[in-house]
Amino acid sequence: MSFTSEINRRRTFGIIAHPDAGKTTLTEKLLLFGGAIQEAGAVKSNKIKKGATSDFMEIERQRGISVATSVLAFEYEGIKINILDTPGHKDFAEDTFRTLTAVDSVIVVVDVAKGVEEQTEKLVEVCRMRNIPMIVFINKLDREGKDAFDLLDEVEQKLGLTVVPMSFPIGMGYDFKGIYNLWEKNINLFSGSSRKNIEETVEISDLESKKIDELIGEKAAKTLREEIELVEGIYPEFDRDAYLEGKQQPVFFGSALNNFGVRELLDCFIEIAPKPRPKQSEERLVKPDEKNFTGFVFKIHANMDPNHRDRLAFVKIVSGIFERNKPYLHVRNNKKMKFSSPNAFFAEKKEIVDISYPGDIVGLHDTGNFKIGDTLTEGENINYRGVPSFSPEHFRYINNADPLKSKQLYKGIDQLMDEGVAQLFTLELNGRKVIGTVGALQYEVIQYRLEHEYGAKCTYENLNVHKACWVEANDVKSEEFKEFLRVKQRYIAKDKQDQLVFLADSPFSLQMTQQKYPNIKFHYTSEF
Ligand code: G4P
């Protein structure tokens, strides 16, 4: 197969959802269609189960699961599909944000009864900011849920999307009869049995067909006709370009658990979802079909075996062909590196591969050379833009609890931050180190991993910080800026990239500071 056909047949995407909406179940059904797994239950949920918060072994065990499901690849109808895992748990939201830099599109799963939930809102916002094409799958139609029109409204309002229903439910919950597929113009009848991949699909010539009355009853048929008329009146027609530009989002209804509506989703997905897309680097736009390989690290996972310090760096291939044992330039370190055992990921295993194409993910063994956002090339000096850091929600001082192990502690902290477990801020005044995290769970993970992987002990000390604000000053020589630095010196820190950060202790103090120094800008993210 030619290089171009290899690129054209790849679809790399992520599924985002609030925990429990059905992401794992849907993933599993997609894999069943691809024949990548034989039975349900093969995909392990990466959910941090309730109660795990204080159980380190459980966290470790579950981290192990999440490495296994980091990338799931399978083939369907000649298309190579790469699903990138995105943790739904809010404490791991940063992980998900970073993974979203490596996807070409996403599927958003919404629970029909719960509607749009908090985590979905945040993740969709990031996708919207980056114009990532999205398809919405409304799940659990076998249960009583919200009215379909209300749900579509909610998706539009809360998520800021422009929806286009591609299918529409016939009844719901107890009365759920099936789905009218506007895209394929047929009706799927819901039998309620979770047979693997057979659904009864009935082709219909048009909505007036008497066949519909026979299939679902006169009353339901009448309602369906009215509803479809309404759908066609209210919502725009599907426009692929608008979808690809992130301006329009097709919606499907179904039940992942019952494997219902999933084939329609998948068939439409492989037809409309984007092939690997060009990516902006700081220097230029890089196209997938360029001859030379380029790629970037979007995730780093520590080895589960504490005896091996090596880690797995996940690289998304942006352009060219990645080859085993070929020397590539690690741009940040300006160093050539060769990889003798790059891993490719399949549904239930990883394997060493000789070549990979744009859209694919390779896992590279790393002994501490990589940071999230690092770029690899064949020699060209380009840098893919990383993911911005967002202000953490929690802040604590980290103290060394074993003076003989300070080297280990700093190395451990350094590497854990490179993995993106949390953010490190160093106070300008006294050099004290502050760890900022999205969720409290990370503090326990860090403490545990420092001890078990690096032999270092730490304690934490509370610190009252509301938000970390990245500081932007037009004129660093101005009196205003100098005064700001002097007056606020207790609250000034540097992040790992040496960017200046103001640790505001309350919304009020942030507001006051902003008023007092109007020419300084304070940002909640590191990219502005
Ligand atoms: P997540 O990865 O998004 O967190 O969700 P997951 O797939 O684990 O699904 C969450 C729960 O919702 C699971 O039940 C799952 O069986 C159920 N579920 C998923 N899709 C459907 C659906 O279409 N209809 C119905 N009725 N339920 C669905 P659980 O009891 O939490 O877990 P389990 O013990 O069944 O695995």
Residue 502 within a domain: yes
CATH number of 206's domain: 3.40.50.300
173 and 312 together in one domain:
no
Q: Residue 52 has what pLDDT?
A: 46
Which domain-ending residue is among 207, 239, 272? Answer: 272
Bridge partner residues of 330 (DSSP) = 335, 376
pTM of the entire structure?
A: 0.86
CA distance linking residue 153 with residue 177, whole number of Å? 23
What's the CATH code of the domain at 371?
A: 2.40.30.10
Say yes or no: 109 and 178 in one domain.
yes
Same domain (yes/no): 349, 294 = yes
The closest-lying atom of ligand 1 relative to the alpha carbon of residue 143 is: 26
Indicate if 369 and 438 belong to the same structural domain: no
- Extract the runs of DSSP E, i.e. beta strands, from 166-269: 167-170, 178-181, 186-189, 200-203, 249-253
Ligand 1 atom closest to Cα of 255? 23
**Measured from the CA of 46, which atom of ligand 1 is nearest?**
2
Whether residue 370 sits in one domain with residue 405? no
The verdict on residue 214 lying in a domain is yes
How many domains, the chain?
A: 3
* Ligand 1: nearest atom to the Cα of 254: 23
Residues 37 and 185 in one domain: yes
| Residue among 285, 243, 299 nearest 104 (CA) | 243
Residues contacting ligand 1 via CB (< 6 Å)? 17, 19-25, 45, 47, 88, 139-140, 142-143, 255-258
156-166 pLDDT, tens digit each? 999 999 999 99
Same domain, 109 and 162: yes
Q: What is the pLDDT of residue 64?
A: 53
Amino acid at 482: K
Averaged pLDDT, 130-149: 95
Residue finishing a domain among 272, 298, 323: 272
Is 130 a member of any domain? yes
For residue 507, give its domain range: 394-523
Residue with CA closest to ligand 1 atom 19: 22
How close is the Cα of 379 to the center of ligand 1, in Å? 47
26 CA closest ligand 1 atom index: 7
Mind listing the pLDDT tens digit for each residue in 243-294? Answer: 999 999 999 999 999 888 998 899 999 999 999 999 999 999 999 999 999 9
Residue nearest (by alpha carbon) to ligand 1 atom 14:
20
Report the separation in Å between the CA atom of 261 and the middle of ligand 1, taken as the mean of its atom positions.
16
Q: Given 250, 272, 294, which residue is the final one in a domain?
A: 272
Mean pLDDT check: name the lowest of 104-108, 152-156, 382-386, 484-488.
382-386
Looking at the fold, whether 411 and 368 belong to one and the same domain comes out as no
**Res 216 pLDDT > 90:** no
More confident call, 502 vs 299: 502
Nearest CA to ligand 1 atom 25: 140
Integer Cα distance of 110 and 154 in angstroms: 11
Looking at residue 505, its pLDDT comes to 94
User: What CATH number has the domain bearing residue 456?
Assistant: 3.30.70.3280
**283 with 262, same domain?**
no
In the prediction, which pLDDT does 87 show?
Answer: 75
Per-residue pLDDT tens over the stretch 356-388: 999 999 999 988 899 889 999 999 999 997 777
- In this prediction, does ipTM exceed 0.95? yes
The answer to whether 141 is annotated as binding is yes
Rg of the chain over CA atoms, in angstroms?
Answer: 25
The reply to whether 87 sits in an annotated binding site is yes
How many A from CA of 150 to the centre of ligand 1?
A: 23
**SS3 at position 485:** helix
Task: Examine the domain organization and report whether 238 and 185 are in the same domain.
Answer: yes
The answer to whether residue 48 sits within a structural domain is: yes
E strand segments, 77-203: 79-84, 105-111, 134-139, 163-165, 167-170, 178-181, 186-189, 200-203
Evaluate whether residue 434 is within a structural domain: yes
pLDDT at position 105: 97
What digits encode the pLDDT tens for the residues 418-439? 888 899 999 999 999 999 998 8
State which of 18, 25, 111, 199 you would mutate to test the pocket of ligand 1, scoring each by most atoms of that ligand within 8 A of its C-beta: 25
Are 176 and 120 found together in one domain? yes
Q: Is residue 372 part of a domain?
A: yes
Q: Which residue CA neighbors atom 17 of ligand 1 most closely?
A: 22
The confidence score (pLDDT) of residue 190 equals 85
In the reported structure, the alpha carbon of residue 20 is separated from the centroid of ligand 1 by a whole-number distance in angstroms of: 6
153 and 266 together in one domain: yes
